[in-house]
A and B are shown apart, each in its own frame.
Chain A
Amino acid sequence: MSTVESRPSAPARPAADARRAPGKPPKGFDRPRFLKLFVGVLFVLLFAPIALVVLFSFNSSRSLQDFQGFSLRWYETFFESESLRDSLIASLEIALLTMLIATVLGTMLATGWYALARACRTASTCSCSCRW
């Protein structure tokens, strides 16, 4: 795969191109049209399934295969069902609690570990066994 693309038959670059504007690729780089296409195709593939899910959430029928007209039917079903609403709330509660615990414990671990490692480095005699 030739990621550093350069066509040998390319005409001599105009002098203005040598002065690189910020955000422009450095000189000696050709505009990689193939690479651009490749990235474009990949993004389409990355988002296609998600776009499909969003689109078919508005489908009036049960199918995930053929779109039979726009409707908010499934959104109504979702918000009318008490059990589905409860499960949404439960998800949010669990996520919030997880975030709180992980943030507190994680921050403490990170700062503690960092301070301990630094204290060990600076101390002339290391009194702890934190050098991993």
Chain B
Amino acid sequence: MNENRFASAFLVPGGLWLLLLFVTPLVLLLALSFGYTDDLGEAIYSTRLDNYERLIDPAYLPVLFRSVGFALAAVVLCLLIGYPVAYYIAIFGGRWKNLLIVLVVLPFFVNYLIRTYAWIALLGDDGMVNGVLDSSVRFLNTPYAVVGGLVYGFLAFMILPIYASLDRMDPSLIEAGKDLYGGPWQTFRHVTLPHTMQGVLAGSVLVFLPAVGDFVSASLLGGPEEVMIGNLIQQQFQASDNWPFGAALTVAMMAFLMVLMVFYLRAAAREAKEATA
């Protein structure tokens, strides 16, 4: 009992901090999403549903679909790129394993914004790549550039969990698969992949969540045709100065992500149960 109270006391400062600076703004945001702006552009708290009705406006719906599409594309690409890399490092890395993992993480210490700016210099209409190839390929202001930027920005989030689950896996399982006359693909499909499903799931969520709300990639590498929900939200809070609508967009996106999280947690729990069974 005494220990309980002592432990509880340790939770107070951090708990208060989170309550004050995380929960309170969230509640304010939720309240604001039912508000409106008056003639002077001042945000007024209210109980209207106008902002949520605007969400299904034909002007905004495509942006929502595009955000989810771009984020899904980024997840798939990160998986296709990240899995082989994690596999190589975990199985064949040998004594270079740790160094290779550090090399994977190292670029992510450089600010996302700066790395994205560097891509502009590389891929711009008169950037390095077009200069060296003496071509005039249009890389920027395309959906590919935005998805590429997302993949580049969040790849480490995919590699690390997959690497961790591959590293935990006993390689003799793969040998067993081969001893049972499993071909490379069969062994991968029935042994390696199921054993690393937890990592794949965790990586997918870790990439999807920041990717769907990202606005840096779309605003720097994309054009007006590549606007994502993150840009829309940023616009409402800054340029258009319509905080209530921005709040409604944010709440809607968070609700959508929370539904996805529930699916993820259930799938993860099932995988964990299978792993221990």
Contact = CB atoms under 8 A, between A and B. Distances in A.
Interface of A: 1-6, 23-29, 31-32, 35-36, 38-39, 42-43, 45-50, 52-53, 56, 64-66, 104-106, 108-109, 111-113, 115-116, 119-120, 123, 127-128
Interface residues of B, number: 57
Contact of A52 (B10, B121, B174, B192): B121
B20 to A, nearest CB: 12
Contacts of B124: 65
A35 B9 contact: no
Interface string B1-28: 1011011111101110100000000000
B83 interface: yes
Nearest to A56: B121
B162 to A, nearest CB: 11
A4 to B, nearest CB: 4
A5 B187 CA distance: 10
A25 B187 CA distance: 17
Interface in B189-229: 192
B175 interface: yes
Contacts of B9: 112
B273 interface: no
B3 A24 contact: no
A65 B131 CA distance: 8
Contacts of A24: 94
19 contacts: A4-B185, A23-B95, A24-B94, A29-B171, A35-B88, A38-B88, A39-B100, A48-B122, A49-B122, A53-B114, A53-B117, A56-B121, A64-B121, A65-B127, A109-B10, A111-B7, A111-B10, A112-B7, A115-B10
